[in-house]
Amino acid sequence: MFVSTGYGKESEPSTSSSVQWSQPCRQFEFPEILLATENFDESLVVGSGGFGKVYKGTIVNGSSFVVVAIKRLDSMSNQGAAEFWAEVEMLSKLRHCHLVSLIGYCKHEKEMILVYEYMPHGTLEDHLHKLGTPLSWLQRLKICIGASRGLHYLHTGTGIEFGVIHRDVKSSNILLQESWAAKISDFGLSKIGPTNQPSTYVNTLVKGTFGYLDPNYFTTGRLTRKSDVYAFGVVMLEVLCRKRAVDRSLDEEQWGLATWAQDFIKEGNSKHIIDPDISGQISARCIKEFVRLVERCLHNNPKQRPTMAEIVVILESLSTIQQKTNSLLQATTVRTIFSRMFNMFLFPSNKGNSAHIDSKLAGNIKGNNTKTLMTNVKADNNTIVDVRDVCDDLSIRIPDPSFRVFKFADLDCATRNFSQDLHLGLGRFGEMFLGWVDEKSFAPSRCGDGIAVVVKRRSSSSSQEYNQFLVSF
C-alpha cells in the first residue's frame, strides 16, 4: 500500500517572487536541482511520503525566481520508474486550477525527481490531524468543492483526449494554496481510461491506501471512476469528523472511519460524528444533505454512487445554503449583542472586573444626537473591541471607560483566526469580526458560549493612524 507523498510541514510564506508557470513540462538538469535545493539540504525538507522526501526549492524562470516543491525518489521506496513516468506523462498533459501543476522533472542516472508548483499550506491531512488548524465549516466545504472540481476534470477529460482515474484520493493528496484553494496531487498510481463512459472499468492490480480503498475494487480488481468517488466520500467524512481514515481511537473492531461513521448515520445519530469545533456552525439542512451525499459516495454498489459532477453541484449548493444561514445568524447575533450591551449599560453589574461600567454612566445618558461610544475593551497589535460605527442609534456615552488589554493571540482565537464566516463588515478603521469571550474571565470561548463581542481590526490601508487609534478612546 502507498502512503502520502504530499508535503506536510506548515511553512512560512516565501519571500521569493512567484509567477504563474505557463511553460510545458520541462526537463531539468541535475545541477539545476542541486542548486535549487542547496545540495538537498535537510533544512529545506517540507514533507515526505511513499515516493521520498519533498524539498522547498527555488528555480529560475526567465528573469524571475519561482518557489517550487521538489520530490526526490528514495532508493528504498516501493515506488519506482513506472510511477515516476506515469506522473510525468499524466501531469504534462493536464492543466487545471484544482490540479497541482508539474513544472518539470529530472532523470539522472538513478535519480528520479519531480518539480511541482509550491503549495504554501501543505496538505489537508496536516491541518486536520497534525497542526490542529482552526478550520470553519465553510472553509472545509470550500476545500471539498475545490478537490471535487479537480477530480471532475480528471474523470470527464474536459479539454483533454482521455479521462483519468486517480486511484489514490486521500487527504494527504489534497494540497492547499495560500488562499486555501484545494488542488489534487500525486498521480503516480493514476490510470487512463476512455471519456464519456462512466461504467468503463480497468482491470488492474489493486493499489491505493487502506481506509480509502473502494471495497468493490478491492474485491474484483475492477477500477472505475466510482472508486475515486468512494475515496472522496471518506475524505468528506474526515473533513466532517476530523478523524483519520484509519483511526485507532475508534472502536477496536472499527478502525475504519467509513464503517464507524456509517453505523451512526444508519442509526440517525449523525450529530455524534461531527467535529465538536464545528458542530455549532452547520445548519440542520446542510448537515442532512452532506451526510446523505457521503452515504451515496460510500454505497457498496458503484452504480449507486454519484458522479463527481453531481458531487460538485451538491457541494456548491450546500455552500450557498450555509452562507445564507451564516448571514442570517450574524444579523441576529449583532442585534442580540447590541440589545445585551444596551441593557448592560443601563443596568451595570456590581461584580468587580475590568469591564465593569461605573455607576456614573446613569448620569451620562444623552439625547439621540450624541455620538455613541460603547467601547470597553482594547487589545495589542492594533486590534480593538469596538462597536462605535454600528451603534449610532443608541444614546449612551462612556466618558472614562476602563480598558482591558487583550493579547492578539486571544482575539485571534476568539474570532477563529478572523474567519470570514464571522466577518460583520468594514468601517473607516478596518474590518469588524464577531468573537466570543468568557463572561467572567474574558478568555476566548467557543462560538456561541459566553459573551459575543465585536472585534475591530485596523486595516493596513486605513487612513486612521495609531495616534488616532489612541485618541479615540
Query: 10 Å Cβ neighbour count for 55?
Result: 26
Let me know if 168 is a catalytic residue. Answer: yes
User: Which residue numbers belong to the known binding site for ATP?
Assistant: 71
Distance CA(28)–CA(118), nearest Å, equals 17
> Which three cell numbers, joined as nine digits, stand for 321?
445554503
Can you give the C-alpha Rg of the chain in angstroms? 26
Q: Supply φ then ψ for residue 270, to 5 degrees.
A: -60, -30
Cβ burial, residue 79 (10 Å; 0-12/13-18/19+): buried
DSSP state of 415: T
> Which three cell numbers, joined as nine digits, stand for 183?
488542488
Q: Are the C-beta atoms of 231 and 173 separated by less than 8 Å?
A: no
Tell me which of 168, 214, 247, 412 is the catalytic residue. Answer: 168
Write the DSSP assignment of 226-292 as a string of letters.
HHHHHHHHHHHHHHHH---SB-TTS-TT--BHHHHHHHHHHTT-GGGGS-TTTTTTS-HHHHHHHHH
Length of the chain as a residue count? 473
The CA-to-CA distance between both ends of the chain, in Å, stands at: 62
Distance CA(63)–CA(152), nearest Å, equals 36
Distance CA(322)–CA(454), nearest Å, equals 22
> Which three cell numbers, joined as nine digits, stand for 248?
485507532
Point out the residues that are catalytic.
168
